[in-house]
Amino acid sequence: MKRKVLWGVLFVLVLLTSAVVHLPASLAVRYMPPVPGLALGEVSGTVWKGTAAQLRFQGKALGVLKWRFNRWRY
């Protein structure tokens, strides 16, 4: 019985970790609180590495926004 519970907990931890690592950036942006004056166009990629086709702040086009976070470096 303990072995089944341990495997179940391990499975849930791996599932949650995978969900965070592969989270689409478009989904994350959809649930972020709005920033006054900021607009992102066509977000793609993951939260770790992605692109916004257009960044606008207070009505001014600032171009393409690209990001890449390295999880293992500080």
Write down the pLDDT at residue 71.
Answer: 67
For residue range 21-36, list pLDDT tens digits in order: 889 999 999 999 999 9
The strand pairing partners of 65, in sequence order, are 52
State pTM to two decimals.
Answer: 0.68
Provide CB contacts within 8 A for 41, sequence distance 6+: 52, 53, 54, 55, 56
